Structure 1
Amino acid sequence: MGQRIIVAGASLGGLRAAEQLRAAGWEGEILVIGEESHPPYNRPPLSKDVLADPGSPTEALAKLAFRPRRSATGIQWRLGARIGSSNFATRTITLDDGEELGFDGLVIATGLRPARVAVPGPLPGRHVLRSIDDALALHAVLRPGTRVGVIGSGFIGCESAATAASLGCTVTLVEGRTGPMERPLGPALSSGVREMLSNRGVECREGVSVVAYRGDGSCTGIELSDGSTVAAEVIIEAVGSDANVEWLQGNGLDLGDGVECDRHLRVLAADGKLVPGVVAVGDIARYPDVRNGSSARRVEHWATPTDTAKIAAPALVAGLSGQQPADLPAPLPTFWTDIFGTRINGIGSPAQAEEIRVLEGDPGQPHTGVAVGYYRGNTLIGVVNAGLPASRHLHYRQLVLDAGALVTS
């Protein structure tokens, strides 16, 4: 029997890993296993275009589905299959139905799942937004006049609040401890996003959190930490994510925040030693920020699966061949969002900044065009721009690239 690499996870990270394994010269078996029954699809539109107008389920999936590269031939797919456990000593994984599969190499790409709000109250009426099925179920209940409570003001919270408002819903955004997207944007630009949301009818409740849901059988309202109550029959919980690492327990890994890796995305044991023949890709991987010289962290952006697969796949193939991986450029995190038609682009690592400087425009009015720089010392480590043409976005991207080259050289 020939050698087999199992890719655990069949979303974008799993697809890109399989493609990159072939590109790195792997000629053995590649088996991709995914819990969802759908083939890999694009997730960012779920909280925007799909939530607003998905069409039929078939049409929605057709719009989002990825097509594997032509060079990625001979890949086997097992969809609708959940991995229950793994044993690195015997080089096996076990599916929930009891089937055991052996591997020579393993790519961990099981990603994240939405965190839930752990407070008393009924479950019906509460939604999350991670999968296409989530988006279809949520779209079905977003009707003009529907009272919607969005819990959490990160990307998904702000996007879904804007989409629900555009559909004619009465929307309240419960921000929590920080303002809209404040961690990656900083307080000034976050305040500008809040103004954009408020001007389009979204009620933003600052500095409060949920203590309970009200309702007899189904949600009718939200009790907040300031003692007030918000009426809402549809709740969207957008309070972050948890890494899907349970199937990896018992292998001596540090699973406190995803899966710890080295700069080549090779998985490390809790004692810091390399785990032979195992890599991780996507937002489950916790790896060193080589560009900024900071500690290992996970990056939950759309480009992360592709960027990490380009490093992890050749490193895995090299390791299985008894070779050392090549030194490849470290990923440059990028992210984007649309809020009521204003595109916000991020480059680098704004959340790691010690100082924030306005480069152009007014952060209080993002729709009019603004760029904000994020610095550690005097080094530019990130830029967020909003409402600017593509040429300005490319300009700031190059500035961050040039600054990173100085740090890593």
Structure 2
Amino acid sequence: MPVIVLNWRRLNWRVISISALVLTVFFNEYLVYSIQSWQWFTFPVSQDREHEVVALLVGDPQLQGYRDEPPFLIGTFSRWDADRYLRNNFLLACGYIKPDVVVFLGDLLDEGSVATDEEFEDYTRRFQSIFSTRANVQRVHIPGDNDIGGEGGDFRTKAKIQRYVRHFEQLTGVTSVKFVDFIKMDVEFRGGLTTEKWKTAESLSSEMKGKYRVLLNHGSVLPKLKSHVYPLLTRLRPQLLLSAHWHRSNHYVCSDCMSHKSDVDKEYWPVHRRDITDTHQLIEIDLTDKEALNELMIPSCSYRMGEVNIGYGVVIIKDSGVAYHGVLWLPQRYILLYVYVAVCLALALFPVLSKYAQKHIITLQKYRYR
């Protein structure tokens, strides 16, 4: 059997460098996504999709703008990389669960509220290109504070709201998907709900025809004051609530929130928060319990938000009244970018260290044979 002897001195350093870079790019840009998807929860394949609604939940994508990014090439690269990361994972998630509806839970754009009209139009084109869906997939968009203002000193204005509506859709409304109504209320809970919001809730309640109702809001609802939340929930009667904003994965549970009407004026109610970041399987929720309420907070899907645990949420609602929720966790992009830096440094330093080591080996050999 022949013995292959590898002579490192005769290796072409350019070939080694190119091979290392190609392998690194292949792993970071292609293979890592497949490896991550192997760890996703087992999706329950149904023989009859008419008796279930599968929703892909997109929390805080926050497309990067031009103002808060570094100028010139660094900013261009950071936007390109963040957009590509969102697009690749979104396509992978859509292919995995084949959703009936995609729900965007606010903060679609990072600088939407402060953008000029030209910038906002450019951001919208990028958004539609990244989150492209098939014609038979319904879409629901709700605004966040980064889209139309409303947080801190960034106030909402009529012009910001009108611009958002022109490029996306109305702030409030009902989108029906099979037997599920997705309700957009756009509630901020600052000092209680206004008379206009009460009228909106009553108007939307007359439009709901589905067997189950899901209330959508960018900010969380159940952790708020009961006196602010309870009257809204009694009008809309949702069986499930979906929110985002805090970039984390939480499950808020209240087992009897809808049973004691005499406690409407209480400030707080027995809402329990469950951190489900470490949950990699589907959790089950009973939608037939008329006294209980469940709210799912969806994490951000963008690595630029500074959170380690990011992903796309999934909700499967069965006609029988059982819902399942899970998160398609995504690879940590910053670690992959650090790998690029480490590989480039190693390739740059290796020839220098190799020559230094070779010089010392020759010196030691001369000293040995004296």
Interval containing the TM-score (normalised by the shorter chain): under 0.3
TM-score, L = length of structure 2: 0.26
TM-score, L = length of structure 1: 0.24
Higher helix share: 2
User: Which of structures 1 and 2 has the bigger CA Rg?
Assistant: 2
* RCO higher in structure (CA 8 A, sep ≥6): 2
Higher strand share: 1
